[in-house]
Amino acid sequence: MKTCSAFFVLLWVTSAIAQPAAPAGTPIVAKSTYHPDNSHSETIVDKTTNELIESTYNAGGALISKKHYLLNERGLPTQGHIYDGRGNLVARSQVYFDAYGRATEMRSFNLNGQCYQQVVYEYDAQGAAKKPKVVNVNPGAAPSIKPGVIDFTNNAAPGMVMPPQQGAPAQAPTQAPAEPKKKSFFGRLFGK
């Protein structure tokens, strides 16, 4: 057993020596973050393609979600896609910036285009970032506005009562009461 483990150590050392060292200014940065519920996130930033990929895993090591963002020239996310653990697209996000190039808001949209989360970024008078405010919205609870149907095929004069639609008894249109005729400007001016 000692010779087997010594063989693997020797194999590992020779492969490490044979591979070239990474350049000092490597454009790919990776980071792992462990959360209190024993889940963890792995973030990879590729500065050559201006992309950020964040994968979140549960305590058992199964992929829960994956976020893929495009970065601007300052390395800040501008827009992205959010996938579930199976790789299905579940949401999109968009980041809005102020005149100084600072992020002011990030909105996440479901596949129906409804915003379900807003993260608002604020800054103090010196320009230091304050703690972001997260607003979760239930798109199903919002009142729905549906377009009304307007029938422009019946050319009735204003004030005319339209006949009922199909299936209802027909009634003759009735005329609305006539308003008294107003005098024209010249009629009021000259008294005629």
pLDDT of residue 172: 53
Q: What does the pLDDT look like over 22-46, one tens digit per residue?
A: 455 678 899 999 999 999 999 999 9
For the chain, give the mean pLDDT.
Answer: 77
pLDDT of residue 149: 58
Please provide the size of the chain in residues. 192
- Is 90 exceeded by the pLDDT of residue 3? no
Task: Spell out a b/e string for 35-46, using b for 16 or more CB atoms within 10 Å of the CB, else e.
Answer: eeeebebeeebe
Beta strands in 39-171 (DSSP E): 40-46, 51-57, 63-71, 77-84, 89-97, 103-110, 115-120, 133-136
Residue extents of the structural domains in the chain? 24-136
**In the predicted model, what is the mean pLDDT of residues 113-126?**
92
State the CB neighbour count (10 A cutoff) for residue 11. 10
- Is 90 exceeded by the pLDDT of residue 94? yes
Q: Pick from 73, 37, 70, 74: which is nearest to 56 by CA? A: 37
As a whole number of Å, the end-to-end CA separation of the chain is 123
